[in-house]
Structure 1
Amino acid sequence: MKHVQALPKKRLLASALLLALAPATYAVAQDQPAPTADASPATPDGAQGASGETQPTTLDQIIVTATKRETNLMETPISITVFGQEELDRQGITNVKDIFTLVPNMDIAFDSSQAAPVISMRGVRSTNITELGDPAVGLHLDGIYSPRPQGAMALMFDVERVEAQRGPQGTLFGRNSTVGNVNIISRRPDASAFEASVGMEVGRWNHQQMRGMVNIPVSDTFALRGSFITEQRDSYLNGYYDPNQWDTRYLPESVRNAPAYSGTPEERNLVQRQRWWAGGQDGLQDVVKAHPGSFYNNADQYAFRIAGLWEPSADFSWMLSYEKFQDSSAGSADTIDCSKANKRVFLQDGEPAPLQGCENAYGPGADSYTVLVSVPGMLDLSIDTVRSNMRWDFSDYLALVYNAGWAKQVRSQMSDMDRGVTDWDMSIFFRKADFRSQSHELQLQSTGDNRLQWITGVFYFEENNDMQGGWMNSMASASYWNQPDRTLSSQAIFAQGTYEMTEGLHLTLGYRHTRDAKEDVGGRNMDCNDSNPNLLDPDLHGGRCYPAWDRDAFVQLPGDYFWNPAIFTPVTNNDIKGEWSYNLWRAGLDYELTDRSMVFGYVANGIKAGGIGDVVVQYEQDPLTTEYPLDADGNRIIRQLHENTYDPEEVTTFELGIKSTLLDNRLRLMATVFYSDYRDMQIATARPLFVTYSFARDDNGVETDEVEANEFTVFQTDNIGKAKIKGLEVEFDWAVSQGGRLSGYFTYLDTEIVSDFIQQWGFGATDLFEIDHGASVDPENEQIRANLKGNELPSSPKFTASVSYSHAFDLNSGATILPWITANYRSSSYFTIFNTDKHEDLFATATPDAFSDKRPSNTNVYLGVKYIAPADRWSVEAFVNNATDTTEFYWAGGGDGLVRGPVSMPRFYGVRASYNFR
């Protein structure tokens, strides 16, 4: 097991050398538009260039590759948002998780247990981000598919542009581009000139970020480019270690031997009040403030890329790159939504408790950034990627393109899951999660100015996963999953062509046929509890695998004791295979109204792949004695096998749009309306399958003669329901004056489940229905079944808007001062598919708002001012992110009387600077 240091020393700056450099925004070279693409729509064209002369207040052409060939953004019949490195820098965006404020109708949640984002677009997302699931929004790096959602956490740096396409893109981009995709395009080496830059950023919570880039022309035909980024930041949470919780094995001695509790009885936190296993309130200890440098929600990561570009002629180019990303932070922790906790009354001995809201759980002064844990966070996530992009224009009319990628993602992780607010002290760990993938695509495409432009190709993708991890229910049991050989293969053929029927009128037809196969070989789910034998030491714990309800024995075990699969008893055999084939298609028309305006319309489908789940075995069991009958060979008798495979889901979209360049090339305006038919929705939920029987325990953890039923619940995906989605998106980019730039978007989105969707309630059921846990997961309990027809889809705010303004003031010295401001707004929406406020007639509680899955509306502001030296030699910028200090939750789960989820960063401010070498 990797050693977890709970209270490490504070980091120092990685290098004092860079402090001696003249201030400048990092990578000044990145501030300059590329020769063919201005991908920074918020950068005023009135700013000075290298010559120091003010440029005309017109908009540069933006080149995109959304059709897998270079086209003008305003002549591409697809809804696309494009932005570059400078816009990412301005809003403090370093990974895909944070780009949702820049993209219309995009929303991103986060799952702390998997260290992965959940990307939604136009109301469609994936609800399963484990190794079993697939995303609904495809992620591509330099045009090459990235399968794992954790890949979106990799740092974005030295970026040429980011293209976010909305609407089904499956005919060209393939699997899991159901409602769009994101393509991150890195800067290419350049053989024409040497270029280098270095920069740094410092800010609140000891934030320290450094970047660098060097471009070396080795010859007239070959160039190398290297770039890097490092980031360290203390946690923005008020974190504490709590030695009063059950599992203290990972805590350092200084915490385990914390002083006796020094507060008053009224100020005790939840664990201190309910610590019944220690004999009432005896032995209580103070909680210990965690070091922010090593606590949840800190940052400790780096990445670098080395790329080579060979262009021996105008007809051939080959770029080969290697990229490394490493995240050694503590991971993320969910916190309590105090605004909802304040809407209920917490009772103590039948009377209102002395502490209410978040203080009831964590003590005086607690807020939505407070958390108490007994398991320090640990994340070791590495991603190694090799990408190859080769193009050969072997005639005046034909080009051959071969894109290939190889990726290895390895993750170890440990997270506290109850965070001191439940009776059960729970945690999750990943001993090893090894994902290896390769992607190959060979394209043949037309070139030149023919009336018919086409592309055809073949695609192959393969992923091999080896994952081991477990779940600790520390008082009573542990579970372990071992998936040594879980594979995915996907093959496809595709073709798409655009034909100019008459001058200005184009017809586009596209088709793709895909075959997917997923298989699990040798996968096992295993248990360790007090009914399982101790397979390693028959004399330990009375021959039981787990020292249930015996805290003294439990805390003596090593921290990595349950990371050993040899101590667990296998309970399920996950050998399973699924195969699917499906067709993707697209048909569209576009017409050039004028030289600067076009209209377009299309109908297309998008498909998210089907999948497999764990195989669950139900054994015969005597409900009176709790014993399992055995067959002649001494094995338990199987009553039933529960297999879970699910089919692809499909979204068919009809879209109409217009793109216009107005006011003498000073205003770009893009608008689209769309309607989507969403069928066979894949919904991943915790679903009770059957019951098992065990002897109940008294308040001291001692077994009684009473038998109780325990629901066996699994996390599985089903195809359920049908939804309708309609919306409007308007984007604009306006050079309003000499040096002034106004840009932004406005969206409207309406989603509704339109088929009967009978579902067992899965959000805060114990609190909303005022029932115990057993009743909340009882598959026979009709009280908690509801028809979700008429509900809205999660993460689908009806209105969103973003407005950015910047103005370049040119100084006589040739320098420029550039103040800027961005404001984002999102209306209210829902965290889950349950929409609690639409079903309040079902609930028993008098305060349903306290357990609601409603996400409130929010407004966020980013602002700053930048000084650019003459000839762009250096620059310095002061900035404030989340100037409104908005507290926002990215996801929410209900239970134990509280709503919890990952919380946004509070107001963040700092200074960034860099120097450019030429």
Structure 2
Amino acid sequence: MNHPAPQPRRALRSPFAPIPLAVLILVAGIGNAAAQTASTPAPVPAATEANGMAEVIVTATKRSTSLQKTPIAITALSAATLADNHVQTMLDVVQLVPGFQATSQGDHGVTTMTLRGIGNDSAKTQYADPEVASFVDNVYSPRAEGATALMFDVEGIEVLRGPQGTLWGRNSTVGAVNIQTAKPELNSRAGYVEGGIGDYHRYGMRGAVNVPLSDTAALRFAIVHEQHDGYVDYQKFPGVPVEQQRAAYLAAGGAAAAFRPINPNDFAVGDRKYNAQDQSAARVSLLWHILPSLQWNVAYEKFSDRGTPSANLMQTPRAGQQHWSTLSDSAPWIERDSHNVRSRLSWDISPDLALHYIAGFSKYKGTMRFDQDGGATVPTSIISGAKWQEHTTTDSDYRSQSHEVELQSTGTRTVDWQVGLYYGGEKNSIRFDIPIMEGTKDSGKVAWQGSFIQPRETVDSSAAFGQATWNVNSQLHLTGGVRYTHDKRENVGGRAYTWRGNLNAPGIPLNPSIDPRTHAGLQADVPGNDGTFSGSKVTWLGRVNYDLNKDNMVYASVSTGYKSGGTQDRGLTYQPETLTNYEVGSKSAFMNGAVKVNNALFYMDFKDFQFNSPVNFSDGGRGLSIENAEGAEVYGLESEIAARLSPDDRLSLSVALLKTKLGALVAGSNDYTLPSPCVAKPEFERCLDVTGNTLPHAPRFSATLMYQHTFRLNNGATLVPRVTAHYETDAELSVFNLGPEDRQESWASADLGLRYQNKGWWVDAFVRNVGDKKVKTSAFNGFGPWLAQYKPPRTIGINTGIDF
């Protein structure tokens, strides 16, 4: 069955359009300005250690510091590491970082992240905030679709573990991910281009070019496109004898004269498959040394997604059906576009003082459709035997801006300090439809349906912060930091229009052409979703680090984290979430720096832990419920080892041990078959006491081993085979801990690669998930049989490229 074409879209009129236009105007005048500006010295090459390994520089403290001298648990992934592991999205990053998990949620097609056992699978709508904050070039990205969808022309990624609220701010409760894009370089005319193919009709290309404009300015253009067919095949309707259908139809209350058999053509067969990729992005960046002491980096980026969501699949396929297949009567689509402007203006006021202004503007707009029921049951007639449920984002519009001013000391000082001011604002709107039919989509009878319209959801967050490090002597360093944050969230005009069973109403499922406000069978829920939350919080950091010698450092810290409260369906509010993190760690180098070992031992104590879930209310309504658990406890150990065994052999190992425990909470969710009625919380139709349960996506032990060897050929070329192996113990997939189906059992996988390089030209072949492991990332049984979403199956491919 072919889905109706999405409604025509109005041309995007971004309020930020003058900014990229201004960049182009500035470019025209830079050549004249260059004649009046002193030349800037060439960049200093990266430091090289005695063993030939490049020193890793990170910006976790909002300064450029050596990874081994930075007293924070950080995983720094270079551009080479990302390329070797074929990292395209945040889902590809997770196994390179200890204690890091990420899932792709099908009904919104976004990526949600978990770090140290803490995450938020519902951080995919305008309501729920993530626990792990995403930044691109130090600019906060509230919507993960654009920031982490495609990793292209990236200089590196830093994953900061533990609360980062003092310096990084919003929603970095348990960590932050900062993606650094490649910046223009002065006096350089260089670039690269590459392309690749693979199974599932995969095709990809990307490239970048650096163009000098003058001695003080340069542009960089980057582009990427990645696509592959979906992994999930469509099942044909298995067929039910007509007489059986008639009997089932009559038993379900159908009128004999109106009976007609199920039309097999109502099921998707030739449509685009689920789990397909079709994404493109482009970026133009400008670096301008306006004065010797004044530097501006500004970039405009456009991202488009025309792929399909991830499918809900049966954990135990029906007889005769393959695992990667679904019986679907909802052909999927995604149509998303985002525009982003990121700017950094840096002024070296004096040899001891610098001022930075970091700003970001983004606009996101999108629609999508998704088969929620996953073909869990086969209809026995057009009105019986199965529940059909579809999720459609009819319209979604998110706009955000952020502004941060930092004043910091520079150079070698007894006290290193920095202070700053921050403002972030969001304006969101969405319409989200959930039609549910008994039997089949086009001929069934309405079981329930609702349209959730949020015309104006706003966030305003402002903060002031400061942090200082007292270098008592060359070995002892004491750091203290504090941040004051004020948040205001408001929902204006939000309404849920839900089914009231009007017999005179048309019994057809909601679709984008239907106005739910005037539909005869729908009524606005009372009360509506109007609500306001306002609150503030002071968070702080205390840390001591001591250099035992030039190769060994230890540190200990106590830090607090905070995530704002807010409004939710029915105008209710929920409380802020806070935590205190206690951590000790070490960073060491052995064998003249050829072996580096970094460790972190931590304990996190949460208060008012926020839990989000879609629920059925006891009065027949539905909505997203956000509750505060009494708390949660998490403790663990992380270790990272990087070794250069010889000039041609490199090995790295990351290990994470984790233990989680949820505080007092009675939770509801319509994704699961839970006890009914709900006595502990009468407002919910179903609920379960989950106090003391293990948090989801938190394996007790996980490890990643990477090894590569360089063969040096006679013609000067190199051949580098590599292997990445990953292992995890079993992990729960929800707070309900409902048994094997709601859990991913212990698993192991491996990725293989082989790279040939001759001067600037290279070829790289790879196999991912060699053993074709079926690894669940979510699970539910609200439709009877257990369904799940999975990591991708085995994929193979080959890329080739040239640097110039």
Within 5 Å, which residues of 2 pair with 1:337-416? 337-338=315-316, 358-359=317-318, 364-416=319-371
* Residue 437 (structure 2) pairs with residue 492 (structure 1): no
| Secondary structure class of the residue paired with 2:297 | strand
Matched residue type, 1:508: T
Matched residue type, 1:757: L
State whether residues 466 and 483 of structure 1, in contact with CA within 8 Å, keep that contact through their aligned partners in structure 2: yes
* Residue 743 (structure 2) pairs with residue 854 (structure 1): yes
Query: 1:278, CA displacement in angstroms?
Result: 9.5
| C-alpha separation in 2, matches of 1:836 and 1:82 | 36
C-alpha deviations, 1:51-97, integer Å up to 9, x for none? xxxx9853210110000010000000000001123333333321123
Query: 1:272, CA displacement in angstroms?
Result: 12
Residue 369 to residue 152, structure 1, CA distance change in 2 (3 Å): farther
Show the counterpart of 1:700. none
Show the counterpart of 1:29. none
Matched residue type, 1:916: D
Higher relative contact order (CA 8 A, sep 6+): 1
| C-alpha separation in 2, matches of 1:138 and 1:159 | 18
Question: Alignment partner for residue 524 of structure 2, among 556, 567, 570?
Answer: 570
Show the counterpart of 2:404. 441
| C-alpha separation in 2, matches of 1:326 and 1:161 | 22
* Residue 58 (structure 2) pairs with residue 59 (structure 1): no
| Secondary structure class of the residue paired with 1:902 | strand
C-alpha deviations, 1:111-167, integer Å up to 9, x for none? 211212221111111243221111100100000000123345421100000000001
State whether residues 888 and 903 of structure 1, in contact with CA within 8 Å, keep that contact through their aligned partners in structure 2: yes
Show the counterpart of 1:884. 771
Show the counterpart of 1:354. none
Q: Which moved more, 1:328-337 or 1:138-147?
A: 328-337
C-alpha deviations, 1:275-304, integer Å up to 9, x for none? 996979963454699677822111111001
C-alpha deviations, 1:715-747, integer Å up to 9, x for none? 210111222211111101100012110012011
Show the counterpart of 2:37. none
| C-alpha separation in 1, matches of 2:643 and 2:601 | 21
| C-alpha separation in 2, matches of 1:267 and 1:226 | 63
Show the counterpart of 2:137. 142
| C-alpha separation in 2, matches of 1:266 and 1:155 | 52
Show the counterpart of 2:282. 304
* Residue 800 (structure 2) pairs with residue 913 (structure 1): yes
Query: 1:760, CA displacement in angstroms?
Result: 5.3
Query: 1:784, CA displacement in angstroms?
Result: 7.1
| Secondary structure class of the residue paired with 1:403 | strand
C-alpha deviations, 1:467-508, integer Å up to 9, x for none? 122111233143112211111000000000111112210000
Question: Alignment partner for residue 198 of structure 1, among 175, 189, 193?
Answer: 193
| C-alpha separation in 2, matches of 1:273 and 1:732 | 67
* Residue 195 (structure 2) pairs with residue 226 (structure 1): no
Show the counterpart of 1:706. none
TM-score, normalisation: structure 1: 0.77
Question: Alignment partner for residue 600 of structure 1, among 555, 562, 579?
Answer: 555
Matched residue type, 1:311: H
Show the counterpart of 1:830. 732
| C-alpha separation in 2, matches of 1:580 and 1:241 | 54
Matched residue type, 1:522: G
State whether residues 657 and 702 of structure 2, in contact with CA within 8 Å, keep that contact through their aligned partners in structure 1: yes
Within 5 Å, which residues of 2 pair with 1:25-174? 57-129=51-123, 130-174=125-169
Residue 275 to residue 163, structure 1, CA distance change in 2 (3 Å): farther
Residue 374 to residue 35, structure 1, CA distance change in 2 (3 Å): farther
| C-alpha separation in 2, matches of 1:3 and 1:57 | 60
State whether residues 616 and 685 of structure 2, in contact with CA within 8 Å, keep that contact through their aligned partners in structure 1: no
Residue 598 to residue 283, structure 1, CA distance change in 2 (3 Å): same
Matched residue type, 1:817: L
TM-score, normalisation: structure 2: 0.87
Structure 1 gap ranges (5+): 7-33, 39-44, 46-54, 245-260, 339-357, 532-541, 548-553, 616-642, 692-710, 838-848
| C-alpha separation in 2, matches of 1:515 and 1:874 | 52
Residue 116 to residue 266, structure 1, CA distance change in 2 (3 Å): farther
| Secondary structure class of the residue paired with 1:892 | strand
State whether residues 3 and 331 of structure 2, in contact with CA within 8 Å, keep that contact through their aligned partners in structure 1: no
Show the counterpart of 1:633. none
State whether residues 234 and 293 of structure 1, in contact with CA within 8 Å, keep that contact through their aligned partners in structure 2: no
Matched residue type, 2:632: A
| C-alpha separation in 2, matches of 1:411 and 1:381 | 4
Larger-Rg structure: 1
* Residue 624 (structure 2) pairs with residue 715 (structure 1): yes
| Secondary structure class of the residue paired with 1:515 | strand
Show the counterpart of 1:49. none
Query: 1:782, CA displacement in angstroms?
Result: 12
Within 5 Å, which residues of 2 pair with 1:423-572? 423-474=386-437, 475-476=445-446, 477-531=448-502, 544-547=504-507, 554=508, 560-562=512-514, 565-567=517-519, 568-572=522-526
Matched residue type, 1:334: N
Matched residue type, 2:673: A
Query: 1:823, CA displacement in angstroms?
Result: 0.2
Matched residue type, 1:58: G
* Residue 604 (structure 2) pairs with residue 676 (structure 1): yes
Number of residue equivalences: 744
Residue 36 to residue 60, structure 1, CA distance change in 2 (3 Å): same
C-alpha deviations, 1:525-577, integer Å up to 9, x for none? 2135432xxxxxxxxxx7x3332xxxxxx48x9x5443564435322422211
Residue 274 to residue 858, structure 1, CA distance change in 2 (3 Å): farther
Question: Alignment partner for residue 613 of structure 2, among 679, 685, 702?
Answer: 685
Query: 1:238, CA displacement in angstroms?
Result: 1.5
Q: Give the percent of matched residue pairs that are identical in Structure 1 and Structure 2.
A: 32
Matched residue type, 2:730: S
State whether residues 56 and 738 of structure 1, in contact with CA within 8 Å, keep that contact through their aligned partners in structure 2: no
| C-alpha separation in 1, matches of 2:136 and 2:622 | 37
Within 5 Å, which residues of 2 pair with 1:650-661? 650-661=578-589
Query: 1:98, CA displacement in angstroms?
Result: 2.8
Show the counterpart of 1:352. none
Residue 157 to residue 36, structure 1, CA distance change in 2 (3 Å): farther
Query: 1:421, CA displacement in angstroms?
Result: 2.1
| Secondary structure class of the residue paired with 2:145 | helix
Query: 1:428, CA displacement in angstroms?
Result: 1.5
| Secondary structure class of the residue paired with 1:89 | helix
Residue 207 to residue 732, structure 1, CA distance change in 2 (3 Å): same
Structure 2 gap ranges (5+): 7-42, 378-385, 438-444
State whether residues 268 and 328 of structure 2, in contact with CA within 8 Å, keep that contact through their aligned partners in structure 1: no
Q: Which moved more, 1:315-324 or 1:283-292?
A: 283-292
Query: 1:240, CA displacement in angstroms?
Result: 3.8
| C-alpha separation in 2, matches of 1:591 and 1:305 | 42
Residue 507 to residue 272, structure 1, CA distance change in 2 (3 Å): farther
Matched residue type, 2:750: V
Question: Alignment partner for residue 309 of structure 2, among 311, 324, 331?
Answer: 331
| C-alpha separation in 2, matches of 1:292 and 1:606 | 49
Matched residue type, 1:725: V
Show the counterpart of 1:802. 704
Show the counterpart of 2:20. none
Query: 1:907, CA displacement in angstroms?
Result: 0.7
Show the counterpart of 2:786. 899
